Structure 1
Amino acid sequence: MDSFTIGDRQIGPNAPTFVIAEAGSNHNGDLGLAKELIDEAAAAGADAVKFQTFRAEDLYVEDSGEVDYLDDDRTIYDIIESMEMPYDWIPELHDYCHEQGVLFMSTPFDKRSADELAEYVPAWKVASYTSSHHPFLRNLAETDKPIIMSTGAHELSEIRGSVEVLQESGAADLVLLQCVAAYPTPLEDINVRVVETLREEFGVPTGLSDHTLDPVPAPAAAVALGASVVEKHFTLDNSMRGPDHEFALEPDELDAMVSVIRDTQIALGSDSKSVLPVEEESYSKARRAIQASRDLKPGIEIQEADIRILRPGEKNKGMKPTFYQDVIGKEVTSFIPKGSGIQWEDLEGRPDNL
């Protein structure tokens, strides 16, 4: 599985998890609020802040009815229209993100919006509901930008078809995100193990787009399973009016999520098992060894009563317990005080295979 970069961030199995703070449309049409969201994401240590760029007429039919999970009497078309981010914000938000040290991203939901964003985003984010829009996927793939694609509300066979379209159209750098299209997602339905399933099935970096309410369990589990990317919605205040505020993280929760992601990855560490420098005192003082249970004078043959397998503490450390039977019957060649470790140089007849 190859690694690649998004902006100046490495993406792949051996890189730090790429954290996307999903601002979405939680700017509520206020540019100042959008910049405050960027400030909070930067302060939390996110790698990127992602907005959403769309036009209602390119997204929904006009007579679209209502959506049950939204507490809003307007049609979904009218709600989406009210959430549109002005195109002229794009360069300003890009520059402001750069000033704050985070990457600017925005999910395009239509070709017109993708064309407006192309100059300013280092990668494309494909929303779950767009992931089977094959003509649009081809358009994005032809730009040669990395693509991060969510997979909510799609079967594995459908994802396979979309991946084939992307790769056949030139998308070399692809990340697939496990996602459940429920807002919020119950913890028992987030199915973080799909992060592994997607990686094994498609051989690309994978991650999680999380809509659960808790900032810790699902992101931490995803990182433990090797997530290269974690994305989560955030807001300045859950009580704000708008469809995405209620299930989004508030700033202190976003900070907690980023911290647990970084700490989890640190804790995962290396897959190489060895005695570490931090274990040196325990290794030398607390690991059991073959120690003399009484003063042993030269010329005696060691019996079981003469030795014990103990922790040496500050005493001279003896051989590993695995040599216990080899030591029995050996002749002592130099004085060994009680409590001291038994070494081969203190004995006659060291085995040839040691």
Structure 2
Amino acid sequence: MADFDTVVAAHNILKKHNSTFALLHCVSAYPTFPEDVNLSVIQLYKKRFPDIPIGYSGHEEGIVIAIAAVAYGAKIIEKHFTLDKNMKGTDHQCSLNPQEMKELVNGIRTVEAAIGVPTKNFLPSEVACNTKLGKTIVSSRDIEEGSLISMSDIAIKVSRPPGLQPKYLSSILDCKATQKIPKDGPISKENVDMNCSVCPNE
């Protein structure tokens, strides 16, 4: 029930008296419809108030949106709890029963594990799939020993044993084949003279 300027003012007042507090995005509608939730506000708060934890206080039905809030960066989740959704009062309909609360916590833990860090690496868990399906540089036709490798000599396919990864394609162009490479044979440091280029480490 506040606009952004009001939230900023509240933050500034609290900061003068206590540095240990959190700010939770909340929509005061019971229940809150998904189109009114606006989880993007969490990211706005994280950018504007990097000095405090940002969370989400949800009044929508179910657990999906609260779990999504964690993916958006919420560090605290507040949901109403009830033993009977049919009890008198506006809060009970949008509250969670014990089973839903358990599912919420489990869902949040799964999302937390999945968030990770903003780096992209080849993972140990991908080794098996890469061994089976990883692409490699192979010859598109028979290449005679001493021939210079050209683009027309190259194809990208699954190959066992593997050759060089496709990212090294430019490193082998115009390099000399040190032995005959049959069609669909892997192209590697073992059968191409890499002295004409920067030899890859992999």
Same fold (TM over 0.5): yes
Kindly indicate whether residue 60 of structure 2 is the aligned counterpart of residue 212 of structure 1: yes
**What is the rounded CA distance, in whole Å, between the counterparts of 1:168 and 1:304 in structure 2?**
67
| Structure 1 pair 330–200 and aligned structure 2 pair: CA distance change class (3 A) | closer
**What is the rounded CA distance, in whole Å, between the counterparts of 2:170 and 2:57 in structure 1?**
57
| Structure 1 pair 322–270 and aligned structure 2 pair: CA distance change class (3 A) | closer
**What is the rounded CA distance, in whole Å, between the counterparts of 1:156 and 1:349 in structure 2?**
60
1:206-264 Cα distance to aligned partner (Å, 9 max, x none):
11100011221x21221111001010011111122344323211222222222222222
What are the equivalent positions in structure 2 for 1:85-96 lying under 5 Å apart?
none
Equivalent position of 1:317 in the other structure:
162
What are the equivalent positions in structure 2 for 1:205-354 lying under 5 Å apart?
205-216=53-64, 218-294=65-141, 296-302=143-149, 306-312=153-159, 315-324=160-169, 327-348=172-193, 350-354=195-199
**What is the rounded CA distance, in whole Å, between the counterparts of 1:291 and 1:257 in structure 2?**
49
SS in 1 for 2:22: strand
Relative to the length of structure 2, the TM-score reads 0.84
How far residue 328 of structure 1 moved from its aligned partner, in angstroms, is 4.8
2:62/2:94 contact within 8 Å kept: no
SS in 1 for 2:196: coil
**What is the rounded CA distance, in whole Å, between the counterparts of 1:317 and 1:302 in structure 2?**
18
Equivalent position of 1:167 in the other structure:
15
**RMSD of aligned C-alpha atoms?**
2.4
SS in 2 for 1:257: helix
| Structure 1 pair 291–225 and aligned structure 2 pair: CA distance change class (3 A) | same
What's the % identity of the aligned pairs?
A: 33
1:17-37 Cα distance to aligned partner (Å, 9 max, x none):
xxxxxxxxxxxxxxxxxxxxx
What number of residue pairs does the alignment pair up? 198
**What is the rounded CA distance, in whole Å, between the counterparts of 1:340 and 1:291 in structure 2?**
5
2:56/2:69 contact within 8 Å kept: yes
2:83/2:97 contact within 8 Å kept: yes
Stretches of structure 1 that go unaligned for 5 or more consecutive residues are 1-152
**What is the rounded CA distance, in whole Å, between the counterparts of 1:166 and 1:304 in structure 2?**
65
SS in 1 for 2:79: strand
SS in 2 for 1:265: helix
Equivalent position of 1:31 in the other structure:
none
What are the equivalent positions in structure 2 for 1:61-210 lying under 5 Å apart?
153-169=1-17, 171-203=18-50, 204-210=52-58
Normalized per residue, which structure has more strand?
Answer: 1
1:305-335 Cα distance to aligned partner (Å, 9 max, x none):
64422111xx121123344455455432234
How far residue 157 of structure 1 moved from its aligned partner, in angstroms, is 2.2
Stretches of structure 2 that go unaligned for 5 or more consecutive residues are none
Q: 2:14 corresponds to which letter in structure 1?
A: L
